[in-house]
Amino acid sequence: MLAGALVLPDPASKLAVVAGLALIASQVVVSHFVRRASLLLITQHEIVAQDADDQRRQVESLFAMTDMLQSAENHEDAGQVLEATASQLLPGLRGALYIFNNSQDRLDLACVWPRDGVSDPVEALVPGNCWALKRGKVHINDPAGASLCCPHNNGHYATIEVPMIARGTVHGLLMLATEAEGGTERLHTIARTAQALADSTSLALANIALQDKLRTQSLRDPLTGLYNRRYMEDALERYLDIAQRNGTKTSVIMIDLDHFKRLNDTHGHSKGDAVLRDVAGQLVGALRPADVAARYGGEELLVILPGCGLEDSLLKAEMLRSRIESLSEMHGTLISASFGVASVPETSSGMSDVVKMADAALYEAKKAGRNCVRATALREGAKKPAARLAVG
């Protein structure tokens, strides 16, 4: 009976069953494709959301970097901030920061990361050997692809090099490197991020350069390049305080160019300026790094010799006198200077009188006929220097 019940009475019923089965099958197929499309769409949305999240984190990192760079006081600070941000945004890449030296003829390595010693970059770059600096644009060195590479590329790493330009001036170079297979493709991918890192750092480097320039202008005499009087007074006070604590000596040499007004009147102020610059060069070339040479005012110069007693200071003054006199032949006119020397504690008690006493000794040298060295009289109980050093 059951079998008889399943027997369809007519063809129309059979057709209806077939149609129903076909409809069910089509619904199953459609549902399958809809499900796959939905999963694909969800995946795409997740990728977009992930990309958006990555970009958001990247922007936040760059903003944080810019904020930190505002507090950077020197190149070391800027390099540390750049290293931290680049390591976070571009993991797996090696990096280096190069900064122009003062003469603008070489870029010196300021920092490198990671510091594992595996493959440290060259210590200095010549601008003429870098295509990124020549073109002022991002350049990718791909040794494996036989592309145009900078001479400083070692042939093992693919590198992206980004010039750091701010306010129309190139301040440095950012270099990122990888030796991984397919690394060149990644360098192309991260080019915009590398440019953003370079742009943020270049502004900081420009600010540091400006601060250094302003600091130099506030400390240096613009004509001679020697320290100015304000810096000299601060340095002398500091050196005397150190000498008092350590029980050491500090000497002061006062220098005045002889007949300098006559030189200006006869040969013009341009000649006088040239002489002052050359005299300053002679002083700097004969002094120790710790010594301070300053323009005291007009044609008067002053030298601070920390850790140097009266005897040695007289010898140094005579050497300086001879070097200045040697400029006469080069300038075609007689150039000489008179010197006065004072020392703490041998001739002076401290800041209040050492410069005055050196100046008084200078005038004694003027009275003695100029182009000579004179020292301040010793304080009671001080050891007299050797007579041969008292040059007249």
Residue 132 carries which side chain, given as an amino acid letter?
A
Element (H, E) at 304: strand 300-306
Number of Cβ within 10 Å of residue 312's Cβ equals: 16
Whether residue 190 sits in one domain with residue 86? yes
- 257: in domain: yes
User: Helix, strand, coil shares of the chain as percentages rounded to 5?
Assistant: 55, 20, 30
Residue 249 has pLDDT above 90, yes or no: yes
- 275: in domain: yes
Q: Report pTM.
A: 0.61
How does the average pLDDT of the chain come out, rounded? Answer: 87
Whether residue 288 sits in one domain with residue 202? no
Cα 267 versus chain centre, distance: 41
| Bridge-based pairing state of the strands 292-297 and 158-166 | unpaired
Q: In the structure encoding, which two tokens stand for residue 173, read together?
A: 């170079």
Number of Cβ within 10 Å of residue 171's Cβ equals: 25
Whether residue 75 sits in one domain with residue 191? yes
More confident residue, 115 or 186: 186
Whether residue 351 sits in one domain with residue 273? yes
DSSP-derived secondary structure letter, 290: T
| Bridge-based pairing state of the strands 373-375 and 337-344 | parallel
More confident residue, 244 or 62: 244
- Name the band, by pLDDT with cuts 50, 70 and 90, for residue 329: very high
Strands of the 169-178 sheet, one edge to the other: 124-125, 107-113, 94-100, 169-178, 158-166, 139-141
Under a CB-based contact definition with an 8 Å cutoff, are residues 253 and 305 in contact?
Answer: yes
| Bridge-based pairing state of the strands 300-306 and 250-257 | antiparallel
Q: What is the CATH number of the domain that holds 341?
A: 3.30.70.270
For residues 234 and 237, give the distance between their C-alpha atoms in angstroms, rounded to a whole number: 5
Our count of domains for the chain comes to: 2
Strands of the 250-257 sheet, one edge to the other: 292-297, 300-306, 250-257, 337-344, 373-375
Element (H, E) at 85: helix 75-89
Look at residues 219, 253, 278 and tell me which one is the last residue of a structural domain.
Answer: 219
Domain enclosing residue 256, as ranges:
229-389
Residue 28 carries which side chain, given as an amino acid letter?
V
Whether residue 199 sits in one domain with residue 74? yes
Whether residue 157 sits in one domain with residue 255? no
Residue 65 has pLDDT above 50, yes or no: yes
Looking at residue 53, what is its pLDDT? 64
Distances (CA, A) of 354 to 7, 68, 294, 326: 130, 45, 15, 29
- 162: in domain: yes
Closest by Cα among 108, 173, 105, 184 to 141:
184
- 36: in domain: no
pLDDT in tens, 94-104: 999 999 988 88
Residue 301 has pLDDT above 50, yes or no: yes
pLDDT in tens, 217-227: 889 999 999 99
Whether residue 236 sits in one domain with residue 198? no
